[in-house]
Amino acid sequence: MNLRYVDWIWHVTGSMALAPGQTHEEAFDSLEPLFRVAGTSHERTVDALTFRKKDQAAQDKMSVFDRGTLRIESGPNGPVLRYRLFSRALLFCFLMPFMFLAIAQFTVELGRLSKPESAAKKADVKKPDVPLNPIDKALGAPEPDSSKKDPDKPGRDKKPKPTSAYVFAGGFAVLYIFGRILEDRLIRRLLKREVIRPRPHNLSI
């Protein structure tokens, strides 16, 4: 299977135009402070910046991403910054619903397999009536009621339920959807607000 059709699941990509007159060097100079943080290493060339993170702190503005590449290319209206970022957190949140759905299905199948055994146990509940002792009978003791259920029986045949697994699967699915949309917007806003800044114009008196 070609991963190009599915790698959007754990990658965040996008592009934006640089500020008018902003050079490659100026753009990367403004980008570099994001990668001068603990747990991050980066390499820079003329038109690209690659980074890798390990044990990144929660305070890191890009902590959700583990590695990525930011590249400046020529566009019809000037230089364009393109980024491609990889996130293990997004991949984890995407895979977890499938794991919990598998657990739920296993639980359902386990319940089905236990039905014949449960039915056999119920058939054994009704035992033949034990004759009353002659002395007890002479004293007027009532006959034993075989229709009464054994108090130890309730709860013994409880079936495993997949409800919890379905709840966790739904929770992680929602977390992934919101996280995927939110992180896409956050990184774009970060690059626009903190990184791609127009050069200040020199004022002459």
Which residues, including other chains, have CB under 8 Å from residue 34's CB and lie 6 or more apart? 61, 62, 190, 194, 195
Partners of 53 in the β-ladder: 40
| pLDDT for 203 beyond 50 | no
pTM above threshold 0.85: no
- Which domains does the chain possess? 3-91+178-195 (3.30.310), 92-171 (no CATH)
| pLDDT for 62 beyond 50 | yes
Chain centroid, CA 112 distance in Å? 29
Extract the tokens encoding 7. Answer: 């790698």
Q: Read off the pLDDT of residues 93-150 as tens digits, 9 standing for 90 and up.
A: 999 999 999 999 998 888 888 766 555 555 555 555 566 666 556 656 666 665 555 5
Partners of 68 in the β-ladder: 51, 85
Residue-level pLDDT at 86: 96
Q: Read off the pLDDT of residues 8-57 as tens digits, 9 standing for 90 and up.
A: 999 999 999 888 888 888 889 988 889 999 999 999 999 999 999 999 88
